[in-house]
Every structure is written in C-alpha cells, then in structure tokens.
C-alpha cells in the first residue's frame, strides 16, 4: 500500500513523487501545490522513507512526455538509481499516453523502481497491476482525446454562429 507496508521492507527507501497540472489557472495551481504538499508530508512522516525529490510539471499536457521536463528528470534520476519508489496521485497525472505510460513503467520496473498510483491503489510491484494500468491508461488517453474533440466541436459551433472563439481581448 501507499504507507510502504508491502513487500519492500527496506529501511530508508528513497521516495520521490510526481505531480502535474495541465493548465495554469488559479484552481490548477492550487491543485499542484496541494499535490506537492501532500506527498512531501506523506514521505517525510514515514520513518522508512527518505525524500528523493518532488518532480512536477506545471501547465503541461499529459499526452506528450517529451515536453514535460519534470517527468523526464524524475525518470532519469530513477534510472540512475536515485529513487526506489515513485508516488503519483493517479495514472492520468503520470501520463495520458498509453504507450508512454506502459513503456515508462516497464523501464522503471526493470531498474527496480516501483510506482504507486494513489487514486487507483495500484502498485507496479504487483504484476497483476500491468493489465489494470494498461486499461486505465487507455481510458485516460481516450478521455484526453474526447476533451480535445469537445473543445474543437464547440469552437466550430461558435464559428458557425458567428461568435468569436476567444475569451479575452487585449487593447
């Protein structure tokens, strides 16, 4: 579980966390800060854990990992042996791209790094999790595509009615 009581009984497990928000709105900014605070406290209050890093991306889509510098740094650090366990709020915070998610999880697992997704209560140390992760990643990817389709549809409808598709004007 997320409290560190599962199969790994190592003292001073190096634990990092990954947090992401996709927009820069005030509400999302608060969400990012809350995620970071929550995981920092969780890690620091567990006597078997040592904080290895708080990694985050602000205002970045979850569909492409190449633009998420915090995510890339976390993966690099984990592959270099600086992190034993990564905590993340949910699979959709980690990535909304099915292939990236599975590829990253497999790469990290091969290097002995496990990931716990809190919302779904999934620990990648458990092999039955891979099927669940694959399914949930596919849903997250589809959700992202659906949101994009909805935005495009609403812009097209506004355009048909002669309404502007922007919300703010300067000048």
- Exposure of 108 by Cβ count < 10 A (0-12 exposed, 13-18 middle, 19+ buried)? buried
- Per-residue pLDDT of 5-60, as tens digits, reads 444 445 689 999 999 988 766 667 678 999 999 999 999 999 999 999 999 998 77
Q: How far from 21 is each of 26, 84, 87, 91, CA to CA, in Å?
A: 11, 24, 15, 13
Task: Assign residue 5 a region (left: φ > 0; alpha: ψ between -120 and 50; beta: otherwise).
Answer: alpha
Beta strands in 22-71 (DSSP E): 49-58
Q: Specify the residue for token string 């985050």.
A: 56
- Per-residue pLDDT of 139-163, as tens digits, reads 666 665 655 555 556 555 566 667 6
- Note the pTM of the prediction, 2 decimals: 0.71
Question: 101 Cβ partners below 8 Å, 6+ apart?
Answer: 91, 94, 95, 133, 137, 140
Q: Specify the residue for token string 């990535």.
A: 95
pLDDT score recorded for residue 58 = 87
pLDDT score recorded for residue 72 = 95
């Amino acid at each position: 579980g997320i409290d560190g009581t599962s199969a790994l009984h190592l003292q001073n497990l190096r634990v990092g966390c990954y947090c992401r928000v996709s927009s820069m709105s005030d509400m999302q900014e608060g969400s990012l800060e809350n995620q970071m605070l929550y995981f920092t406290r969780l890690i620091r209050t567990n006597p078997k854990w040592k904080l290895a890093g708080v990694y985050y991306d602000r205002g970045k889509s979850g569909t492409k990992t190449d633009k998420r510098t915090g995510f890339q740094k976390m993966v690099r650090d984990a592959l270099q042996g600086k992190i034993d366990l990564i905590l993340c709020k949910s699979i959709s915070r980690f990535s909304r791209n099915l292939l990236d998610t599975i590829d990253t999880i497999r790469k990290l697992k091969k290097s002995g790094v496990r990931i716990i997704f809190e919302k779904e209560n999934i620990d990648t140390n458990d092999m039955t999790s891979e099927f669940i992760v694959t399914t949930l990643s596919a849903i997250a990817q589809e959700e992202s595509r659906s949101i994009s389709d909805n935005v495009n549809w609403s812009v097209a409808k506004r355009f048909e009615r002669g309404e502007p598709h922007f919300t703010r004007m300067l000048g």
